[in-house]
């Protein structure tokens, strides 16, 4: 007999002895268990292998956890209906119907049933199907000697959190979130107070804050509480519009004003007459357009491109930036006189990492929006998930949190979000992989240069980086610029050079 078979036989003997001991004690235990199980968690293990059942009970049963054992799926279903266990740990290959079918029936009976499936011979399709059907986890049997209790404890903890979360409805409803401005932190309360003070006036307001912090929401709130709220609110991202088109976009143009101007165009200032115009990314506005905007602020008038006719402008201007405009003034890329005209009132939005007490409210708000828009059951947040969200630095601010909650809602296998559903670590892993790829590519280029290849290394890298960023973002120039780490204006200039160089 081989050592491998010897070890297997020894293990089987141990399991059989444990099973005998377990069964002998079961009769005495069941009476007391049935008398009072209200304070014990119940775990149901389903497997045709009685040795595995005995080992499972020995591993998992504690004064706090009762372990029930079944060898077939039909008995398991009946036990579930009778005892309502907190967790079901089931083999896939069962009779008279499979563990996957058992999962379907249990989830149909109790949608939040926590089920872990296992098998020694499961195909990848079983794993995918199990998770698709709502299994909490799928664990291969060869892993169980190392992590059985860890997996089960995590699932039992999640079940307890799910029930605790289900006992308390969300504190706020969608109707209570005016203008999507969600938060109770002192930092955000100061923003609310400033909005209340200046909304009714007609002075320009500069809104500053990191990307994704909610600058447009502040602008919309200012409009909502102003006397102009019965007229249009229009927003334009100055960084997203090509330099040669931004002037026309804002002020309009006459037919024939430039190549391609086949008809008259009404600009945003005319469209927004009597209302509010929000200029996002104001730091990216070309100097020539800045001069024309200054005229609107000073004289309340403008002309369309290609026209001498002077038009009056009754529009409140709100501007926003994530740049340091005082540094831009020193670089001669932003007009100092325009800065002081726009910066009459400045509202500075704090980054999300500076108001962690708002993260739960924001996450709950986004979950409510998803439920409402997608016609899905409302997902709730576990306390552990909240801790994970609050511990993260959120470089992308509220926008990143919203995207994370959307992804997590797709990954969730129960009606409550757990830490395992929140893929915050993916970004770091991807960056590490990319750094290795970049290192290999650069080393290849160095090798070519050493061999005498006439490779203009830096210009070529700049060109390729921009070209591939544009392709990767489906020609979204703002996102491409963020990927590369340059301003949208610099990216457009690089694209023009790329086109000129072929």
H or E element: which one contains 245? helix 243-251
Residue that terminates a domain, selected from 366, 386, 421: 421
- Co-location of 257 and 308 in the same domain: yes
The token duo for 368 is 């409510």
pLDDT at 102 over 60: yes
Non-local CB neighbours of 89 within 8 Å, separated by 6+ positions: 43, 44, 45, 46, 56, 115, 116, 118, 152
Non-local CB neighbours of 55 within 8 Å, separated by 6+ positions: 15, 18
- Co-location of 336 and 474 in the same domain: no
pLDDT in tens, 103-136: 999 999 988 889 999 988 766 667 777 877 888 8
In 3D, which of 321, 360, 354 has the Cα closest to residue 338?
Answer: 321
pLDDT in tens, 295-327: 999 999 988 888 889 899 999 999 999 999 999
- Co-location of 79 and 120 in the same domain: yes
Residue that terminates a domain, selected from 306, 330, 349: 349
CATH classification at residue 371: 1.10.8.60
- Co-location of 412 and 449 in the same domain: no
- Co-location of 190 and 339 in the same domain: yes
Comparison of pLDDT for 136 and 342, the residue scoring more = 342
Q: How far apart are the first and last CA of the chain?
A: 73
pLDDT at 485 over 70: yes
- Co-location of 8 and 57 in the same domain: yes
High-pLDDT (> 90) share of the chain, %: 39
User: What is the rounded average pLDDT of the residues 459-474?
Assistant: 76
pLDDT at 497: 80
pLDDT at 185: 84
Report the largest interatomic distance among the alpha carbons of the chain, rounded to a whole angstrom.
Answer: 102
pLDDT at 448 over 90: no
Task: List C-alpha distances in Å: 194 to 190, 392, 497.
Answer: 6, 28, 44
Residue 229 in domain = yes
Distance between CA atoms of residues 182 and 363, nearest Å: 10
In 3D, which of 268, 249, 279 has the Cα closest to residue 342?
Answer: 279
Distance between CA atoms of residues 38 and 57, nearest Å: 19
In 3D, which of 281, 222, 204, 205 has the Cα closest to residue 491?
Answer: 281
Residue that terminates a domain, selected from 136, 166, 196: 166
What is the average pLDDT score of the chain? Answer: 81
- Co-location of 287 and 230 in the same domain: yes
This prediction has a pTM of 0.59
- Co-location of 114 and 18 in the same domain: yes
- Co-location of 442 and 494 in the same domain: yes
Residue 396 in domain = yes
- Co-location of 335 and 219 in the same domain: yes
pLDDT at 428: 41
Comparison of pLDDT for 212 and 447, the residue scoring more = 212
pLDDT at 349 over 80: yes
Residue 176 in domain = no
Comparison of pLDDT for 364 and 169, the residue scoring more = 364
- Co-location of 29 and 115 in the same domain: yes
In 3D, which of 412, 400, 401 has the Cα closest to residue 371?
Answer: 412
Distance between CA atoms of residues 277 and 392, nearest Å: 34
Look at the chain and report how many structural domains it folds into.
Answer: 4
- In three-state form (DSSP H/G/I as H, E/B as E, the rest C), the secondary structure along 67-102 is EEEECCHHHHHHHHHHHCCCEEEEECCCCCCCHHHH
Comparison of pLDDT for 77 and 267, the residue scoring more = 77
Comparison of pLDDT for 61 and 260, the residue scoring more = 61
Domain of residue 119: give its range: 3-166
Task: List C-alpha distances in Å: 23 to 32, 379, 434.
Answer: 15, 41, 56
The token duo for 4 is 């491998």
Q: At what angle do helices 99-109 and 124-132 cross, to 10 degrees?
A: 0
Residue 175 in domain = no
User: What is the rounded average pLDDT of the residues 205-234?
Assistant: 92
User: What is the rounded average pLDDT of the residues 385-391?
Assistant: 90
Exposure letters 42-61 (e unless 16+ CB within 10 A, then b): bbbbbbeeebbbbbbbebbb
pLDDT at 296: 93
High-pLDDT (> 70) share of the chain, %: 80
- The residue ranges of DSSP E strands in 149-232, in sequence order, are 205-208
User: What is the rounded average pLDDT of the residues 464-484?
Assistant: 77
pLDDT at 234: 94
């Amino acid at each position: 007999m081989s050592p491998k078979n010897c070890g297997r036989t020894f293990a089987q003997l141990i399991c059989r002895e444990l099973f005998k001991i377990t069964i002998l004690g079961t009769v005495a235990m069941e009476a007391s268990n049935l008398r009072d199980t209200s304070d014990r968690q119940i775990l149901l293990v389903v497997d045709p292998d009685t040795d595995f059942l005995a080992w499972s009970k020995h591993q998992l049963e504690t004064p706090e956890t009762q372990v029930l054992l079944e060898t077939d799926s039909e008995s398991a279903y009946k036990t579930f209906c009778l005892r309502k266990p907190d967790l079901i740990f089931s083999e896939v290959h069962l009779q008279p119907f499979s563990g996957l079918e058992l999962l379907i029936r249990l989830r149909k009976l109790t949608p939040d049933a926590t089920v872990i499936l296992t098998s020694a011979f499961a195909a990848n399709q079983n794993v995918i199907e199990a998770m698709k059907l709502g299994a909490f986890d799928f664990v291969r049997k060869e892993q169980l000697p190392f992590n059985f209790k860890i997996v089960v404890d995590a699932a039992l903890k999640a079940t307890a959190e799910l029930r605790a979360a289900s006992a308390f409805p969300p504190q706020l409803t969608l109707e209570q979130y005016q203008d999507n401005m969600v938060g109770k932190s002192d930092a955000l309360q100061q923003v609310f107070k400033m909005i209340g003070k200046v909304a009714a006036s007609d002075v320009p307001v500069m809104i500053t804050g990191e990307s994704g912090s909610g600058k447009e929401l502040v602008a919309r709130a200012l409009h909502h509480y102003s006397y102009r709220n019965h007229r249009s609110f229009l927003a334009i991202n100055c960084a997203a519009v090509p330099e040669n088109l931004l002037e026309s976009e804002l002020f309009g143009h006459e037919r024939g004003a430039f190549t391609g101007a086949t008809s008259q165009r009404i600009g945003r200032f005319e469209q927004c007459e009597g209302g509010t115009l929000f200029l996002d990314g104001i730091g990216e506005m070309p100097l020539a357009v800045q001069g024309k905007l200054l005229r609107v602020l000073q004289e309340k008038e403008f002309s369309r491109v290609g026209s001498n006719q002077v038009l009056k402008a009754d529009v409140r201007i709100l501007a926003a930036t994530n740049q340091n405009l005082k540094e831009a003034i020193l670089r001669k890329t932003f007009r100092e006189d325009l800065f002081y005209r726009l910066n009459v009132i400045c509202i500075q939005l704090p980054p999300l990492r500076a108001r962690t007490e708002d993260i739960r409210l924001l996450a709950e708000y986004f979950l409510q929006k998803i439920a409402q828009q997608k016609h899905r059951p409302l997902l709730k947040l576990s306390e552990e998930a909240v801790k994970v969200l609050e511990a993260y630095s959120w470089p992308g601010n509220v926008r990143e949190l919203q995207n994370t909650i959307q992804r997590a809602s797709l990954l969730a296998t129960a009606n409550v979000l757990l830490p395992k559903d929140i893929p915050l670590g993916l970004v770091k892993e991807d960056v590490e992989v990319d750094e290795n790829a970049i290192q290999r590519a650069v080393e290849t280029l160095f090798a070519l240069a050493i061999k005498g290849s006439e490779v203009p290394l830096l210009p070529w890298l700049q060109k390729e980086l921009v070209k591939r960023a544009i392709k990767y973002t489906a020609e979204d120039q703002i996102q491409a610029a963020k990927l590369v780490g340059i301003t949208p204006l610099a990216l457009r200039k690089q694209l023009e050079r790329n086109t000129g160089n072929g």
